[in-house]
Amino acid sequence: MFPIVATERLAPDVQRIEIAAPRIARKQRPGQFVIVRTHRSGERIPLTIAGADADRGTITLVVQGVGKTTKLLNSLAAGDAIRDVAGPLGQPTEVRRFGTVMAIAGGVGTAIILPVASALRAAGNRVIGVLGARSREQLILETEMRAACDELILMTDDGSAGRRGLVVDPLLEALASGRRLDRVLAVGPVRMMQAVAEATRKPAIPTIVSLNTLMVDGTGMCGGCRVMTANGPRFACVDGPEFDAHIVDFEILALRNQAYRERESEELREYLANPTRWLEEVRAEMLADASTGVDANAATRFAAPLTASMTASNAAPNAAGQSTECRLEAAHPELRS
Ligand code: FAD
Ligand code: FES
Ligand code: MG
């Protein structure tokens, strides 16, 4: 188990979660992610390592509650624990001196681009950050991005912060004015990354996107994260998650990401009907494992006092019939091939 050390609400549906995971904190590099499973019968989801503190032995995740698993994760608090955190996974970002880099992020993509922007600036690049959100309320990590970038441009759909417009607009303006850009990074919704890729294709500016494919195991075994590129199929979990934007087939990516929409909506409805039930199930499992000593994870030993502080009020009876297999994997065996 991986104890939660602290949580902070960044926006109505977005939570920063600091987790005791000393080995991952020591090894991780910008651009890498972890696969998280809240409890035994929960599904595995990929989340970027938005920050790490090797001395404290913690990593930070920034989670947008879009469906059942992310909403459940965001309902956990300091003193709770997460069943599995596997990583660091994926290829780290290529960090060297490119010149001027524009780092464009939409929504929770900001959490993914923040460590990369910091590392690129530390490597001597001039970093222009562009952050987009629906409104000021949804903008996250503005202060941190300001510290990580030489310039920061804010864009909102309603003009309540920065300028009104799309995150791709400052890129189009920079290209039209002849401003030199040596590299562009984009993280966000598929169509946003596609628009950035189209804008930089003709001027041939190297452009990197971090792809939010479906993932199951995160180790190249299941094929769930397959991405079609001009160089053939690739797996986002081991070959990515960053790819050359100009070789990605975004149409196939968008289609694959919708493959389980019905099932995801069903799970969300089931969760929203009684969120407390799911939270109690997770907490009961944590408590049972902590009290029986089932869990031999190093992170538990590292933060034993936190685990011990879980209150007796969390001690609801454990749910019967928990499966050790990931739900998504069990429900969709075709993802394995
Ligand atoms: P669901 O209702 O299951 O799905 C909602 C949406 O998320 C759908 O569009 C679906 O296509 C997508 N999704 C569902 N399951 C998965 C899955 N197993 N893998 C990937 N996408 C899925 N989100 C964050 O909030 N913060 C992050 O730092 C972050 N980093 C990511 C890093 C990588 C490498 C990838 C691939 C995705 C990342 N995501 C991140 C997206 C996050 O994994 C999904 O939002 C999450 O899995 C949704 O699960 P859910 O059950 O809450 O929602
Ligand atoms: Fe990439 Fe399974 S998640 S192959
Ligand atoms: Mg889900």
pLDDT at 297: 52
CA dihedral 18, 24, 30, 31 (to 10 degrees): -90
**If you average pLDDT over residues 296-321, what whole number do you get?**
35
Task: Decide: 268 in ligand 1 pocket, CB within 6 A.
Answer: yes
Q: Are 310 and 290 in contact (CB under 8 A)?
A: yes
Listed residue (27, 242, 205) closest to 113, CA to CA = 242
Q: Write down the pLDDT at residue 304.
A: 40
Which one-letter DSSP state was computed for residue 336?
G
Write the residue with the smallest CA distance to atom 2 of ligand 2. 222
So what's the pLDDT on residue 325?
30
> Which of 186-190, 215-219, 314-318 shows the lowest mean pLDDT across its residues?
314-318
Gap from CA of 258 to ligand 2 centroid (Å): 17
Question: Hey, is 287 helix, strand or coil?
Answer: helix
pLDDT of residue 288: 86
d(CA 272, CA 197): 36
- Residue 240 CA: distances (Å) to CA of 95, 202, 225: 15, 24, 10
Tokens of 258: 């919708």
How large a percentage of the chain has pLDDT more than 70?
87
pLDDT of 291:
74
Name the E strands within 168-258: 183-187, 207-210, 226-229, 232-235, 242-244
Q: Is 88 in the pocket of ligand 1 (CB under 6 A)?
A: no
The CA angle 185-191-194, to the nearest 5 degrees, is 50
Cα gap 247→188, rounded to integer Å: 17
Helix (H) or strand (E) holding 155: strand 151-156
Please give the pLDDT value at position 295.
57
CB 67 within 8 A of CB 33: no
pLDDT beyond 80 at 320: no
Domain ranges of the chain: 2-90+274-310, 100-210
Give the residue, 335 or 229, on which the prediction is more confident: 229
If you average pLDDT over residues 295-300, what whole number do you get? 48
Helix residue ranges, H only, 210-249: 236-239
Looking at this protein, which amino acid is placed at residue 115?
Answer: P
Mean pLDDT, residues 191-218 taken together: 96
Q: Tell whether the model's pLDDT for residue 17 goes beyond 80.
A: yes
Q: In the prediction, which pLDDT does 294 show? A: 59
Q: What is the pLDDT of residue 301?
A: 41
pLDDT of residue 220: 93
- Residue 292's pLDDT is 72
- The count of other CB atoms within 10 Å of the CB of residue 137 is 13
> Six-digit token pair at 213?
């494919």
Question: Residue 15 corresponds to which tokens in the numbers above?
Answer: 């939570």
pLDDT for 111-162, tens place per residue?
999 999 999 999 999 999 999 999 999 999 999 999 999 999 999 999 999 9
236 CA closest ligand 2 atom index: 1
Per-residue model confidence (pLDDT) at position 336: 35
Q: What is the pLDDT of residue 69?
A: 96
Question: pTM of the entire structure?
Answer: 0.87
243-261 pLDDT, tens digit per residue, is 999 999 999 999 999 888 9
The string of pLDDT tens digits covering residues 77-124 is 999 999 999 999 999 999 999 999 999 999 899 999 999 999 999 999
Residue located nearest, by CA, to atom 4 of ligand 2: 220
CA 336: distance to chain centroid?
22
Candidates 50, 46, 184; CA nearest to 120 is: 184
CB 140 within 8 A of CB 79: no
Write out residues with Cβ below 6 Å of ligand 2.
215-218, 220-225, 235, 237
Q: What is the pLDDT of residue 98?
A: 98
Comparing 63-67, 148-152, 300-304, which segment has the lowest mean pLDDT? 300-304
DSSP-derived letter for residue 80 is B
Residue 139: predicted pLDDT: 94
132: tokens are 């987009």
pLDDT for res 120: 97
Question: What pLDDT is attached to residue 329?
Answer: 37
Chain mean pLDDT for the chain: 87
Q: Per the CATH hierarchy, to which homologous superfamily does domain 2-90+274-310 belong?
A: Translation factors (2.40.30.10)
CA of 213 to the centre of ligand 2 (A): 9
For the cut 70, the answer to whether the pLDDT of residue 239 exceeds it is yes
Mean per-residue pLDDT, 196-209: 97
CATH code: domain 100-210 is 3.40.50.80
